[in-house]
Structures are given as structure tokens and as C-alpha cells.
A and B are shown apart, each in its own frame.
Chain A
Amino acid sequence: DQQVKQNSPSLSVQEGRISILNCDYTNSMFDYFLWYKKYPAEGPTFLISISSIKDKNEDGRFTVFLNKSAKHLSLHIVPSQPGDSAVYFCAASSRGIIQGAQKLVFGQGTRLTINP
């Protein structure tokens, strides 16, 4: 049972344009969402996060939108740059029984390629 889904395995975008990566989740208990970027042979690098009390969070070129009713979040990158080419993972977390205990459920990832 995949609780976090990234339905697009890959996405190709022209440099300078907007990249939109999508993520759907099924568990209504998730209350914190994150996006990570991963290059080959490296660990994931945190990009941006959003709490369920918000519907938008922005950090430079990256904006995350959360639609709780649709159980959907998206990451917008604008403008896209060649260095953005990587695999992007969305992840979700819920407040567990133990205060502060954290466990992330990851999507399968979307490979973003930025074409010059």
C-alpha cells in the first residue's frame, strides 16, 4: 500500500521554464510534507517543507503547494536551471504516538531533466 505516490517517473523541462512536480498521498494523518532532491551516489538533500496548517511555502525559486482536500502537493521550480536536473522525492510524516518521533514515507521519485 503506497501511501505517497509520485505518478510521473520522469519529467523534461526547458531551461528557464517552470518545472512542476506532483505528489499524492492517501493517509489523512500526514501533517508535514517535505521535498528532497537526490543526485546519483549522494544522499537526499532537503529542499523545502510545508506543514498541513499552510497551503503554500516559498523559498527562492522553490514553492510547495498543499491541497489537503485533494491530498495533493506540488513543487514548483521557476526558473528551472540545468543544475536542477536530479531525482525529486516527496515525503510525508504524521505525528506519532511518541512526541517528536519521526518517520518519513517517501514517494518513488521523479527524475527531472532540464534541457538547455
Chain B
Amino acid sequence: KAGVTQTPRYLIKTRGQQVTLSCSPISGHRSVSWYQQTPGQGLQFLFEYFSETQRNKGNFPGRFSGRQFSNSRSEMNVSTLELGDSALYLCASSPRWPGELFFGEGSRLTVL
């Protein structure tokens, strides 16, 4: 069974640009969530989607947004990039809760 797939794995952007990250969950998993990992703040919850609806949102500014498609694939977008947005963005899927989250390998974003 294929795991959670995230693309792109690495990308470099400049301040003010926007970025879109993509996540394909494990087949059959309808819940997709996103986390940001930085050295200073650790792993922080961004948002969670289920059946194309955002069910939960973390404490991030409105520049961070996401969506989920009918096939459960998800994208997250960060607009007007800032240097502090440099991080590893992790996507996770889950078949049920409580249970476990299955994480992808992440998309490493560097903002210059």
C-alpha cells in the first residue's frame, strides 16, 4: 500500500511569493492534516480536512490556507511568503480517530 505522498520535496522561494504544496493520502484515508515543523517551534498543527471540509484549524495567519478534493488529495497554499515560513511541511492522513496519523516525508520550503 502506497504511503502518504508529498510534492514537491524541496523548493526555494523568495519573500512575497506564494507556494502550493500537494499531498496524496493513503488510499481509503479521508482525513488529511498538515503540520509545520521548524527548529524553534517544533511540530505545529496547521489544519485538518475531511470530505473536502476543514474541520480544525491551528493558530496560523490567514496567509496559510488549504483545501481537499473529492479524491481526498489535499493542497496547502502560503501566500506572501516570509522568511519565517521556511520549514518542513508535513502532511498526514488517517483512516479513523482516535488512531494514528500516517505522515509523508514532507516538503521542505526555504524562503530567501
Give A contacts to B, CB under 8 Å: 32, 34, 36, 41-46, 49, 51, 89, 91, 93, 96, 98, 100-109
Shortest CB–CB separation between residue B96 and chain A, in angstroms?
8
The distance in angstroms between the C-alpha atoms of A77 and B84, with both chains bound, is: 36
The secondary structure that dominates the B interface is: strand
For A32, the chain B residues whose CB sits under 8 A away are 98
Shortest CB–CB separation between residue A59 and chain B, in angstroms?
12
**A101/B55 in contact, CB under 8 A:** yes
Shortest CB–CB separation between residue A10 and chain B, in angstroms?
14
B48 CB contact (under 8 Å) in A34, A44, A101: A101
The distance in angstroms between the C-alpha atoms of A77 and B71, with both chains bound, is: 39
Shortest CB–CB separation between residue A49 and chain B, in angstroms?
6
Give B contacts to A, CB under 8 Å: 4, 31, 33, 35, 42-45, 48, 50, 55-56, 58, 90, 92, 94, 96-106
The distance in angstroms between the C-alpha atoms of A100 and B96, with both chains bound, is: 7
A43 CB contact (under 8 Å) in B98, B100, B105: B105
**A106/B44 in contact, CB under 8 A:** yes
**A106/B42 in contact, CB under 8 A:** yes
For A103, the chain B residues whose CB sits under 8 A away are 33, 45, 48, 56, 58
Shortest CB–CB separation between residue B110 and chain A, in angstroms?
14
Given contacts A46-B102, A106-B43, 15 further A-B pairs with CB under 8 A are A43-B4, A43-B90, A46-B100, A49-B99, A51-B98, A93-B98, A101-B55, A102-B31, A103-B33, A103-B45, A103-B48, A104-B45, A104-B101, A105-B45, A108-B42
